[in-house]
A = this chain, B = another copy of it.
């Protein structure tokens, strides 16, 4: 009996996260204060847990995963299987071997849980009673709500109004998890009221959601903010994906030629790729391609500038050096909202600037058509964001076919699409 999948037993679950900071080819440019206003670095201390901030600047390469977090990792199905896409390979008639990591199996439907669980755990351990977070597409919101339920903490989610209404099912799910879901801007904060005075029909934006989140965290001692992406401590948590994948490829004695994943702000791609980039920087991997797959609506790593910018329109956090399209830039609306970010994470940007990673940008329709092929061959319904990775993996496999090379292509299915059918229907039309 053939078995094309690689399962990692529970006792092989990694005991450490990987921190790329000490291994970067150049030091990460420090977070910077803006010329005017209060110290943003001091503000950060009031916004986030002590543990998160310690990790953010840690120079330790290996960060021990707390037992309680590992227990919950197991509870949510870690280690996750690595699947070989044998049926897709046959469909494409390619000599390439395509492997995909199953982050779509997460209970809330996305990889985001890998960081939301430890972040909420730190909040719990440090005595906070409530966590608060902004969300757009909603994957962060529901993952924070899940983690808060596990630690019996209160949870408030500021959800970009127009996105929340587009994601009605995910919003109900998040409420059912006991979170207080508030459409942003709202009457519950001063800044929210100000936005609504300016425009009673304000559709909301990540800017309004961040601003309300920060106001609540700064004004309530029992409340701490949870951060969804970009920052070092978040990325670190997600390296569990790549660390497991490395072990799985070792089991079958394969080394990747291409490692790719979709990338918005950038925590999913780093989660898969950084453990492999470590090996590459250590000289253990030869000719390898690291590929971030972006949306043409927000091609930060392709069309952005590498410079200091604010990471969110409320300008509460310090300036970070990164690829940015400009924090105030209006990005086109797409369905894969998780990829719609005006700038990229600092470490990912540095690696891009140093020429270590490649990036491409795809249109929504071609990505979602690829997801349809993937569903019909592999039986896996991927998230709208993950569809971009699927398309890129298919293109790489077809390239290998043209070159007649048995390349090993590895990618991450960052989430599932069960709350995404409306988006699929809108773009694919015929379903």
Which A residues fall within an 8 A CB radius of B? 1-3, 5, 7, 9-10, 67, 70-71, 74-77, 81, 83, 87, 105, 107, 109, 146, 149-150, 168-169, 172-173, 175-178, 372, 375-377, 379-381, 418-419, 421-422, 424-425, 428, 430-431
Q: A173-B381, A418-B418 are in contact. Are A10 and B7 (CB under 8 A)?
A: yes
Instruction: Let me know if A176 and B424 touch, CB within 8 A.
Output: yes
Instruction: Let me know if A379 and B107 touch, CB within 8 A.
Output: yes
A-B contact pairs, 20 of them (CB 8 A): A1-B67, A5-B75, A87-B150, A105-B105, A146-B379, A149-B376, A149-B377, A168-B421, A169-B169, A169-B422, A172-B424, A172-B425, A172-B431, A173-B381, A173-B421, A176-B375, A176-B376, A176-B381, A176-B431, A177-B375
CB distance from A80 to the nearest CB of B (A): 11
Which of B77, B172, B178, B379 is in CB contact (< 8 Å) with A76?
A: B379
Contacts of A2 in B (CB 8 A): 71
Chain A at the B interface: mostly helix, strand, loop or mixed? helix
For A7, give the chain B residue with the smallest CB separation.
B10
Instruction: Let me know if A379 and B176 touch, CB within 8 A.
Output: no
For A149, give the chain B residue with the smallest CB separation.
B376
Instruction: Let me know if B421 and A107 touch, CB within 8 A.
Output: no
Complex Cα distance, B374 from A149, in Å, reads 11
Q: A1-B70, A3-B71 are in contact. Are A172 and B379 (CB under 8 A)?
A: no
Complex Cα distance, B419 from A377, in Å, reads 22
For A174, give the chain B residue with the smallest CB separation.
B431
Rank and list the top 8 A-B pairs by shortest CB-CB distance, nearest first.
A418-B418, A169-B421, A175-B431, A176-B431, A172-B431, A1-B67, A172-B421, A149-B376
For A416, give the chain B residue with the smallest CB separation.
B418
Which of B5, B149, B178 is in CB contact (< 8 Å) with A74?
A: B5
Contacts of A107 in B (CB 8 A): 379-381
Complex Cα distance, B3 from A70, in Å, reads 9
Complex Cα distance, B425 from A177, in Å, reads 13
Contacts of A380 in B (CB 8 A): 107
CB distance from A386 to the nearest CB of B (A): 14
Complex Cα distance, B373 from A176, in Å, reads 9
Complex Cα distance, B9 from A81, in Å, reads 12
Contacts of A376 in B (CB 8 A): 149, 176-178
Contacts of A422 in B (CB 8 A): 169
CB distance from A97 to the nearest CB of B (A): 17
Complex Cα distance, B430 from A418, in Å, reads 22
Complex Cα distance, B105 from A178, in Å, reads 22
Contacts of A3 in B (CB 8 A): 10, 71, 74
For A1, give the chain B residue with the smallest CB separation.
B67
If A76-B379, A175-B430 are given as contacts, then 9 extra A-B residue pairs at C-beta distance below 8 Å, sorted by A number, are A3-B74, A87-B150, A107-B379, A169-B418, A172-B425, A172-B431, A175-B431, A176-B376, A418-B418
Which of B83, B149, B178, B428 is in CB contact (< 8 Å) with A176?
A: B428
Instruction: Let me know if B76 and A150 touch, CB within 8 A.
Output: no
Instruction: Let me know if B109 and A176 touch, CB within 8 A.
Output: no
Instruction: Let me know if B75 and A379 touch, CB within 8 A.
Output: yes
Instruction: Let me know if A71 and B1 touch, CB within 8 A.
Output: yes
Interface centre among A81, A379, A381, by most B CB within 10 Å?
A379
